[in-house]
Amino acid sequence: MTVRPILTAPDPRLQAVSTDVDAVTDEIRTLVDDMAESMYAADGIGLAAIQIGVAKRVLVIELDKKDGKKNPVAYINPKVTWASDETAVFEEGCLSVPEIWDDVERPARIKAEYLDRNGKKQTLEADGLLATCLQHEMDHLNGVLFIDHLSRLKKSMAVRKLTKAKKLKETA
């Protein structure tokens, strides 16, 4: 398992629309394992493949490490099949949008289907943090970041801050 560098905005690669995985092969399982390691190394709770530069519809999420034990869940080709009218607001952050957090409103409950790491079709109904996290990560597969959900003013402030931070890093 390899920790791979995480892309940060602004980066045109983060706007790519990822493509479906044809078959869940060992190559995909290695990608999932690398994603999990990269997520843990960065202290995140979710990661989409595009965040390490791979434009495939693969997510890894781990919301609660029980007793420090790692149990990352892979969601391959995930699709929302139902979303509640009721919404919920969570303060979101993103490993690709460092040092920025803001409230985002999304459907409070969703139903989704996906393939697990063995290529088996699974369905789930999620609420709370998992519902939000899944929607945030699925957005990445369509090239959308959580700051794209903010007001135009807030988004432009965020982009300015990210651009500045990136320039500072490059010249450091």
Shortest separation between residue 60's beta carbon and Ni ion, angstroms:
12
Residue 9 contacts Ni ion per CB under 5 A: no
The torsion angles phi and psi of 7, rounded to 5 degrees, stand at -70, 145
Shortest separation between residue 25's beta carbon and Ni ion, angstroms:
25
Residue 45 contacts Ni ion per CB under 5 A: no
Closer residue to Ni ion, CB minimum distance, 49 or 94: 94
Residue 150 contacts Ni ion per CB under 5 A: no
161 SS3 class: helix
Residue 115 contacts Ni ion per CB under 5 A: no
Locus of tokens 């890093």? 169
Residue 60 contacts Ni ion per CB under 5 A: no
Touching Ni ion, residues 73-112 (CB under 5 A): 94
Active site residue: 86, 99, 137, 170, which one?
137
What does the block give as tokens for 131? 């519902």
The torsion angles phi and psi of 78, rounded to 5 degrees, stand at -70, 145
Shortest separation between residue 61's beta carbon and Ni ion, angstroms:
11
CA atoms of 131 and 13, how far apart (whole Å): 25
Number of chain positions touching Ni ion (CB under 5 A): 1
Q: What string of DSSP letters covers 57-94? A: SEEEE-S--BTTB---EEEEEEEEEEE-SSEEEEEEEE
Judge whether 105 counts as a catalytic residue: no
Residue numbers at the binding site for Ni ion (CB under 5 A)? 94
